[in-house]
Amino acid sequence: GSWEAMLPRPPFPGEGRRVVPAGRSRARPRGAGGGTVLLPSMLMFGVILASSGLLLMIEKGILAEVKPLHPAAVEGARRGHGAGDRGGGEEAQGELEYQVLRDIRNRTIRTVCGQRAMPRSVWELPAGQRRTVLRHLLVSDKYRFLYCYVPKVACSNWKRILKVLDGALESVDVKMKMDHKSDLVFLGDMKPEEINYRLKHYYKFLFVRNPMERLLSAYRNKFGEIKEYQQKYGVEIARRYRKNGANSAGDDVTFSEFLRYLLDEDVERMNEHWMPIYNLCQPCAVRYDFIGSYERLNADANYVLDRVQSPSFVRFPERQSWYKPVTAETLQYYLCNTQRRLIKELLPKYILDFSLFAYPLPNITSEFCQQ
């Protein structure tokens, strides 16, 4: 029953450290009649469930409702590349993997959100939660879409795009400090009947990111670069979690101190930069048409722009050369140098982000960290 039991295991003796490429399929159709096909990707699905969603699904009694993809969907995804086309084959196989992951995410959200206790609309949410989600839904009446912005998931670039689509900004490449309020329309500023109409008829989307990676990005940005956050949060964190911390200017907060602060915070009162995505966007109360991911940011963003029929000259901006993203190695370094107890105690606050959006829990076993 411990969180440690849910962490990915180290290799069994004899397995070594060999990694099987994700695209190599060994699965065969089940039965002569062509029953469901269990791809190796579905094996990945099992790992995801075991690491992040299994306890939740067992508790809800819904594990049996998640089914593998139908063979027709698999065959459709495989079409268009021959066995001899290695480059195209790998690209198509990667796309297949992503389609399976998206299918997992959609099924999990539908199944979890279908439970009786989950909200069916924004009006079923407590007032504070409803206020939060409506404040994070940006509106484009011209292109009839709603975008739930999540800080630290490229939301500044999306806000630039909205301003360009509305004519308030000439180009997404304009060099200027981002104003996160002006020239933007928030769903929360509208009347109930206007809110209902847009929730029912507009295209709705959001973008998600690995929860721990998002937290590390927020920590490095806000406490390493932004004076306002150092003074407002950093000073308080140092005073609360450090001996003789009263003398700190808030610019030397450690990652462990930041996690301790999050552990003691009420989720509903968190700053938006580290509030769970579930609480910001309420994917059970708002039925999103598309959930993009930070890992495929450009491709998913341009898919959305095509879907809402934005002008052809509007494309998601390339990452700035000065931007230093959080790499998998950087994240693992921080996690492995943080008390395991802290991370395991914090995970329940973000478990819906891990489970609904199909992100595996971090591997912080001593064997893995020693490697």
pLDDT in tens, 211-252: 999 999 999 999 998 999 999 999 999 999 999 888 899 999
Q: Assess if residue 310 is contained within a domain.
A: yes
**Res. 181 pLDDT band, cuts 50 70 90:** confident
Q: Assess if residue 42 is contained within a domain.
A: no
| Cα gap 144→152, rounded to integer Å | 24
Q: Assess if residue 73 is contained within a domain.
A: no
Q: What angle do CA 293, 296, 299 make, to 5 degrees?
A: 115
Q: Can you tell me whether residue 369 is helix, strand or coil? A: helix
Pairwise pLDDT comparison (81 vs 338), residue with the higher score: 338
**Res. 30 pLDDT band, cuts 50 70 90:** very low
| Cα gap 287→184, rounded to integer Å | 22
In terms of residue numbers, what domain contains 171?
A: 95-369
Closest CA to 3 of 368, 346, 369, 356: 346
**Res. 87 pLDDT band, cuts 50 70 90:** low
Q: Can you tell me whether residue 72 is helix, strand or coil? A: helix
pLDDT at 1 over 70: no
What's the pLDDT at 94? 74
pLDDT at 5 over 70: no
β-bridge pairing 137-140 and 145-148: antiparallel
Q: Assess if residue 59 is contained within a domain.
A: no
**Res. 321 pLDDT band, cuts 50 70 90:** low
**Res. 93 pLDDT band, cuts 50 70 90:** confident
Q: Assess if residue 16 is contained within a domain.
A: no
Query: How high is the mean pLDDT of the chain?
Result: 80
Cβ neighbors of 217 (< 8 A, separation 6 or more) are: 152, 209, 325, 326
Pairwise pLDDT comparison (343 vs 52), residue with the higher score: 343
Q: Can you tell me whether residue 248 is helix, strand or coil? A: coil
What's the pLDDT at 318? 77
What's the pLDDT at 57? 42
Closest CA to 105 of 297, 276, 274, 288: 288
**Range with the lowest mean pLDDT among 31-45, 189-203, 206-220?**
31-45
What's the pLDDT at 2? 39
Q: Assess if residue 5 is contained within a domain.
A: no
Pairwise pLDDT comparison (124 vs 3), residue with the higher score: 124
Q: Can you tell me whether residue 329 is helix, strand or coil? A: helix
Pairwise pLDDT comparison (136 vs 174), residue with the higher score: 136
Q: Assess if residue 325 is contained within a domain.
A: yes
- Report, as an integer, the average pLDDT of 19-32: 38
pLDDT at 109 over 80: yes
Helix axes 86-113, 40-48, angle to 10 degrees: 40
What's the pLDDT at 88? 63
pLDDT at 343 over 60: yes
- Report, as an integer, the average pLDDT of 323-341: 91
Cβ atoms of 66 and 107 within 8 Å: the answer is: yes
What's the pLDDT at 265? 96
DSSP 142: T
Total residue count of the chain as it appears in this document: 371
- Report, as an integer, the average pLDDT of 155-177: 85
Q: Maximum distance among all alpha carbons in the chain?
A: 73
Q: Assess if residue 26 is contained within a domain.
A: no
Residue with tokens 């809402």: 308
**Range with the lowest mean pLDDT among 65-74, 115-124, 255-264?**
65-74
β-bridge pairing 290-293 and 145-148: unpaired
What's the pLDDT at 322? 63
Closest CA to 304 of 138, 113, 181: 138
Number of domains in the chain: 1
What's the pLDDT at 42? 42
Beta bridge partners of 138: 147, 186
Q: Can you tell me whether residue 129 is helix, strand or coil? A: helix
pLDDT at 76 over 70: no
What's the pLDDT at 224? 92
Q: Can you tell me whether residue 185 is helix, strand or coil? A: coil
